[in-house]
Structure formats: structure tokens, C-alpha cells
Amino acid sequence: MQSTAPLMPPDALTHAAALARQQQLTKPPGSLGRLEALACWLAACQQRAQPEPLRPAISIFAADHGIAAEGVSAYPASVTAAMVHNFAQGGAAINVLARQHQARLEVVDVGVNADLQGLVGIVQDKVAPGSANLLHQPALTRDQRDAAWATGERAAERHIAQGANLLIAGEMGIANTTAAACLICALSGLAPEQVVGRGTGLDDAGLLHKQTVVTRALQRAQTHRPATALDWLAQLGGLEIAAIAGFLACAARQGVPVVLDGFIVSAAALVCEAQQAGSRHWWLASHQSQETGHAMVLQQLGLTPLLDWQLRLGEGSGAALVLPLLQAAIALHNQMATFAEAGIPT
């Protein structure tokens, strides 16, 4: 884990140059709406007034959660490992989207409670076989938290070394919306009723139970007097959430933009921004998740989601879904004629 000095945002001069080009393209200024802002942001991130096409890469971090024992998910904990097999066979939603948009995809086992050795495309970087039950004890030791964070940093570095210029983090971990909700409450000051959602599809009774679990877990964690976001991460996080926070921190330090996925990634983003201020300038929010509280977290991060399509899957799927929109923003920005080139009077 590195320094907490505020990061520089994407390059302002390049942003201004890109904006100037947008004003000269053969359309009324502003008529391509957010596509224009996206092109200028990507230009600033790349420090090229005409940005290169995107070379996206995705890491899915998978881990089990002790809190699953409290009946906070509509699915059994065994689904985490089963879904890693599905990722390896190419059958999950994120596999389809990654193939469709030619994104490099890797799955990182940072803490699944199963032997996943030998599965195709699975990076073995297991820190522990899952987190502890955060209702009764800290989810992670400090060492586990730091090791998982470093796992995420290594994943971002791998992608960047292979030429990726846009990163996506996804997650798989049954019960991780509970850990994410706890962290979001702790870091945002929002109440459990404002944050806790149905996850994979809890009914009304399940939702109330999950709210109670989160409230009690927050009370338990308070007794340890957590002072920093990293303290909260150890108390209430999970191995994949810590890894995603490290992934985001590393990407921002290296000046590589990230498309944030849904609720769980946003919890990791809050941790990252608290630890490394200014990281958020390198992020775009793909969508507003159905999960309660996601909208308010994005607001706190100063991010406006692109889509509101009732998504509540995770895996990085929402982020992968907006890749064609980003590619379109860059293609329009680079390939449209200017008024001068087209001889159109202004």
C-alpha cells in the first residue's frame, strides 16, 4: 500500500484541446451530449487530444464470505466456487460481454474456499479460504487485507503491462453485498435502511434480517474503534473487495482509467478514495445498480452513472456493457470531419 498524497487528475491541457476539437466537429456543439464529455475525459486520461481506441481488460476477483452463514443471500455459498468453474468454461454473463467487446478477461481466486487449481484462465492468488464472519469478528486480519490489496495491484499491473488502456474490476462472492453494505454505511455515514438491498433476490423478511445483521456488525466493528478506511476494510470487507480497492488504487496511480461496475465495486471505490484521494477522477460509473444505496454512493464519489437499466448482477457486467459506448465516443471524436474540412459555414 502506497502513500496517501492526493493524485493528479487527468491532464487538463489535453482535456481543453479535446474540447476545442469537439467544438469544431460537424454538429452543433454539445449535441452529442455525454459522448463528448466521455471523449474529452478519455483524451485527458491518455494525454492525447485524439485518444487511441480502447484496449479494455477485466479482472474478476472471487472470494468467499463468512457472513454467508447468517443467511444473508438468496443463494448458498457454494455458488461462488461453482461460478468460478462457469467463468473458466466461458458461460457467465461477463464471459459473453468480454468476448463481444474483445476485452481481455482474467479471474483471480483471491479467497475461494475450494481448490481451483488447474482451471483455465483462473489466476491463483489466494490469500485465505474466505473471510471470517464479520458479524462476530473482523472479516480480515490486517495481513490478509494488505495481501488482498496487493493481489489487486498486481492484477492491474499485469493488464497495464500487456497494453490495456482501460480497466474493469468485477467480483464474485456470495454474500458480498452484505460486506459492501457494511463498508458503505461505515464510510458514508448512511444508515443500513438506506444502503442494504436484496442482493441476489432476498424476499421482504430476508431483507429485514440482512438489515439487522448489518446494523449489528457495525456495532461490533465500532468496539474496535476503526480510525481509517483501511481499518474498516479489515473489520467489514472481504478479500475480493480489498483486492478491488488495490486494483483501483494502482490503476489511478498509473493514470489508467477504470469503469466502475455496481454496488460492490462502489464499496471498494469508497475505500480507495478515502485511502488515496483523487482516485475518483480516473473513474467512470457504468450504471446505477438496483441495489439500494448505490445511487447515494455514486453521488458521494461525484460520479454520474451512464445507464439505469435495473442491473443487479456484478461480475463487472455493467461496466463491460458500456464499452461500445466509449468506443463510439472515441470514434466520433477522431473520425468526424471539422466544419473547415467539410466546407460547412458556421
Q: Applying CB under 6 A, which residues contact ligand NIO? A: 177, 199-200, 261-264, 289, 291, 312-314
Q: Are 98 and 320 in contact (CB under 8 A)?
A: yes
CB burial class (10 A; 0-12, 13-18, 19+) of residue 186? Answer: buried
Task: Pick what 289 binds: ligand RBZ, ligand NIO, none; C-beta below 5 to 8 Å, kind-dependent.
Answer: ligand NIO
Residue nearest to ligand RBZ (CB): 199
One of 51, 130, 305, 314 touching ligand RBZ (CB under 6 A): 314
**Which positions are catalytic?**
315
Tell me: does residue 175 bind ligand RBZ (CB under 6 A): yes
Q: Are 243 and 179 in contact (CB under 8 A)?
A: no
- Collapsed DSSP state (helix, strand, coil) of residue 31: coil
Judged by CB under 6 A, the stretch of 74-82, 100-108, 136-144, 326-334 that binds ligand RBZ is 74-82
With a CB cutoff of 8 Å and minimum separation 6, the contacts of 121 are 87, 88, 105, 106, 107
Q: Which is nearer to ligand NIO, 50 or 300 (CB)?
A: 300
Tell me: does residue 176 bind ligand RBZ (CB under 6 A): yes
Distance of alpha carbon 274 from alpha carbon 149, whole angstroms? 14
Please give the residues from 249 up to 278 whose contact with ligand RBZ meets the rule CB under 6 A. Answer: none
Over its C-alpha atoms, the chain yields an Rg (Å, rounded) of 20
Task: Pick what 262 binds: ligand RBZ, ligand NIO, none; C-beta below 5 to 8 Å, kind-dependent.
Answer: ligand NIO
Please give the residues from 200 up to 229 whose contact with ligand RBZ meets the rule CB under 6 A. Answer: 200
Neighbours of 40 (CB within 10 A): 24
Task: Pick what 75 binds: ligand RBZ, ligand NIO, none; C-beta below 5 to 8 Å, kind-dependent.
Answer: ligand RBZ
One of 51, 173, 237, 318 touching ligand RBZ (CB under 6 A): 173
Q: How many CA atoms lie within 13 A of 332 on its CB side?
A: 25
Q: Which is nearer to ligand NIO, 177 or 275 (CB)?
A: 177
Tell me: does residue 75 bind ligand RBZ (CB under 6 A): yes
Distance of alpha carbon 179 from alpha carbon 211, whole angstroms? 12
Judged by CB under 6 A, the stretch of 17-25, 38-46, 170-178, 241-249 that binds ligand RBZ is 170-178
Record the cell numbers describing residue 61, joined without a space.
Answer: 476477483
Please give the residues from 80 up to 99 whose contact with ligand RBZ meets the rule CB under 6 A. Answer: 83
Residues 293/138/216/313 CA torsion (nearest 10 deg): 30
Binding site for ligand RBZ (CB under 6 A): 73-75, 79, 83, 171-178, 199-200, 313-315
